[in-house]
Structure 1
Amino acid sequence: MPLPTPRIFLLGSAALLCFVLAGCGKDEDEARKGTAPATPALTVTTARPATASLPLKLGANGNVAAWQEAVIGSESGGLRLLEVRVNVGDIVRKGDVLAVFSADTVNADVEQARAAVQEAQANAAEAAANAKRGQDLKSSGAVSEQQATQWATAARTAQARVAAAKATLTQQQLRLKYTRVIAPDGGVISARSATVGAVVGVGTELFRLIRQGRLEWRAELPASDIGRVKPGTRVRVKGANGSEVVGKVRTVAPTVDPQTRTTLVYVDLPPSLSSNAPLKAGMFAGGEFELGASNALTVPQQAIAVRDGFSYVFRLNPDSRVSQVKIDTGRRLGERIEVVKGLAPEAQIVVTGAGFLNDGDLVRQVADPARNAPAAPAAPAKVAAR
């Protein structure tokens, strides 16, 4: 059998060498690909939940109303209104004159009643003298017993007429007094229906007065929350312009509305006579009852990611990967938010960059620069001159 030529042998060896080298290169690439470390998706800072004391508050809505609104009416009938001295919004004190009625006819009636008193007094004096004279003559037998009794009766009747005349005079003097409408208490005029020149009857409303300028907030609370509110509880009521007024619970209504199943809570607001007061009668306002404080598990607001209407945090695992954890949030204190449910107190959660992560991402943890910032160097001390 003839031996192969050297050319054919060389070609076979070269092909075998290329196959071996290709196989070795492939194995090396596969090995390099399997052992190469994964790249972190994000550099983050972490923190653990902290326990903080958070205030307990109970929100409610309601109407602002006058503590007491006095209705000031006319006590004299058939008189013409001569002068109106106040208007809506004016601040008055107790005893101030609000309006004046014409007193011409009342003055005439007073003079007539005074004259009637004088006449009755004169008749009473004459009757008393006759009665005394009758008693003297009766002892001497000059007049009969019947005549003396008649004179004594006439004297007593005359005294009664004097008392009646004085009562009429007092009545007319009261009518004269009522021609001046007086403020029964200090406060703010909230309504005015008095018109100059009008002839009004007895009891006609002329003004409305918010007594002492005091207002109250009538908060509506569900029946289930009545037991949480006590008299004296502090309340923050927010006005329409955003300003807050601090008040106190005066009382809780003893009944529940059968239609709405709510109860009114009466909150005393500080008196304010200024026209620029943040709360006015008739406003609808919201407020919060301060019920104390309680300890709660909190996390930084930056650590919470809101997705599809739910709140999540990302827990850092020992393998440097994160797990998305659904939580229920509650109260807020500054930049920290209460976690009601879903998070363990010892969990380590992502703070910076939480909004850019997904479940299972690999992250690189670094120290928080805000926490580990070096202290500012102390200023060099000045050497005293010698």
Structure 2
Amino acid sequence: MMRRQARSFCLTIAPIIAAALLSACNQQAEDTESAQKKKRPPHPVIVQTVAAEPVAIDYSRTGTVTLRNKARIHAQEEGRVTHFPWFEGDRVKQGITLLRLDDTLLKAELKKAQADANQAMLDLKRINNLISKKVASREQLTSSRTRLSITQAEVEILKARLAWMDIKAPFDGVVSTRLVEAEDFVSKKTHLLTLIDPASLYVEANFSELLLGQVRQGTAVKVRIDAAGNKTFPAIIRRIHPVLDPATRQAVVEIDFKQAIPRIHAGQFARVHFSSVAEPRIMLPFNAVQQGRNNQFVYVLQDDKAKKVDVTSGIKKGDRIEIIEGLTPGQQVITQGFLGLSDGKKVVVKTNS
């Protein structure tokens, strides 16, 4: 009986002793961990004081080299081409004959019209003499004057038509297209050739509605032509078209070179570079801005601890990024020491050596 009671007592007290020993071990482990936490040094970080600084943003747009002076020469009279010595690439001076049409028939018509005008002049003189003698009527005088005016007008018309047979260059330029040959017969309004002025080259680019607020007429820009190598050429915005394309929300901007650029051609690809007006902006190193699931944030130093603060970023420039919302000047943002860093963790500021 005594043995059975002793055995029952042992079975009852054994779990209690085991639980007490386990509790003591856990308490000792917690005490050890707490002591280690107290001894663990603060997390070392490097910070930057938030400040607004004037920053200009660099922009780049693509465009096309275009001609401002380009003349499509058309025939104003019909006739046979008797003289056309110019070919693509030939340079011509203003006023030189580009092309001549056979004017034999028009010259004959002009002679006839001049003869009619001379006869009308003689008739008018005769009527005036008769009027003085009261032999001719006022109606005859009026009719004679009218006929003289008509014949003189016909002479002027034929002179103009005759001048159109000798087609001259409207400006110094280069023949870019030759569309007819000597001895061809051409009709009125036939496109004969195209003349371009290489000195009138400019760049045409499309600017978005946001970029239009950064430029105005007279803004200085730089242009790089890929085919001309890595050189950039100074240029200036000459004209901003007032209407945007409703499909792209972009407007055409015309950019003039400040000086003539040799060995570039219409149709070439161009890049336009310019900077906005410098405005106060909060700029941080790019790696200081952390990316969350649905937001961006930075760590701010507050009471010797790292505090997580949501921010909204803006433009990027080099290795820095603009902060639009979330920070105010004077705050200190952690820029280095992110490994193992978390919200609320105690930190110590180190110098950036």
Tell me the number of residue pairs that the alignment of Structure 1 and Structure 2 aligns: 317
Correspondence for 2:74: 73
How is 1:50-61 mapped onto 2 (pairs within 5 angstroms)?
50-55=51-56
Please tell me whether residue 202 in structure 1 is matched to residue 202 in structure 2: no
Q: Which residue of 2 aligns with 1:359?
A: 342
**Unpaired runs of at least 5, structure 1:** 1-22, 139-144, 370-386
Give the corresponding residue for 1:301: 286
Q: Equivalent residue for 1:184?
A: 170
Task: List alignment gaps of at least 5 residues for structure 2.
Answer: 1-23
The range that moved more, 342-351 or 32-41, is 32-41
- Whether the aligned pair in 2 keeps the contact of 1:67 and 1:216 (CA below 8 Å) is no
1:117 to 2:117 alignment = no
CA 1:161/1:331 → structure 2, altered by over 3 Å: closer, same or farther? same
**Residue in 2 that maps onto 1:95:** 95
Q: Does the alignment pair 1:328 with 2:330? A: no
Match status 1:315 vs 2:300? yes
Q: Which residue of 2 aligns with 1:37?
A: 39
User: In the aligned structure 2, how far is the partner of 1:322 from the partner of 1:314?
Assistant: 6
TM-superposed CA distance for 1:162, in Å, is 9.4
Deviation at 1:52, TM superposition (A): 0.5
- The 3 A distance-change label for structure 1 pair 131 and 86 is same
Distance 1:158 1:348, change over 3 A: closer
User: In 2, Cα distance between the equivalents of 1:135 and 1:260?
Assistant: 75
Taking structure 2 as the reference length, the TM-score comes to 0.63
> Residues 205 and 253 of structure 2 are in contact (CA less than 8 Å); yes or no, is this contact kept in structure 1?
yes
Does 1:253 pair with 2:242? yes
What displacement does 1:340 show? Answer: 1.2
C-alpha change, 1:82 and 1:309, in structure 2 (3 Å) is farther
Corresponding residue for 1:348?
332
Q: Once the 2 structures are TM-superposed, how far is the Cα of residue 77 of structure 1 from its aligned partner?
A: 0.9
1:375 equivalent in structure 2: none
CA contact (8 A) 2:296 2:310 kept: yes
Q: Alignment identity in percent?
A: 15
User: What is the TM-score with the length of structure 1 in the denominator?
Assistant: 0.58
Q: Note if contact 2:124-2:148 (Cα within 8 Å) is conserved in structure 1.
A: no
Q: What are the superposed Cα offsets for residues 196-230 of structure 1, whole Å, 9 maximum, x if unpaired?
A: 133221122234456761546363645xx699478
String of CA shifts for 1:128-162, please: whole Å, max 9, x gaps: 57975x689x6xxxxxx6xx439x95998599469
**Matches of 1:63 and 1:84, distance apart in 2:** 32
Contact 2:79 2:101 in 1 (8 A): no
Q: Which residue identity is paired with 2:81?
A: R
Change (3 A) 1:282 1:227: closer
Give the greater-gyration-radius structure (CA). 1
Cα distance change of structure 1 residues 315 and 93 upon mapping to structure 2, 3 Å threshold: farther
CA deviations on 1:218-275 (whole Å, 9 max, x unpaired) are 63645xx699478536374766638576433635535x65x63836354443477646
Preserved CA contact (<8 Å) 1:214 1:272: no
CA-CA distance at 1:281 after TM superposition: 5.0
Distance verdict in 2 for CA 1:235–1:63, change over 3 Å: farther
Please report how far the alpha carbon of residue 339 of structure 1 lies from its aligned counterpart in structure 2 after TM superposition.
1.0
* Residues 88 and 178, structure 2, Cα contact 8 Å, conserved in 1: no
Give the superposition deviation at 1:85. 2.0
Quickly say closer, same or farther: Cα 1:196–1:353, change in 2 above 3 A: farther
1:269 is paired with a residue whose SS is strand
Code of the aligned partner of 2:281: A
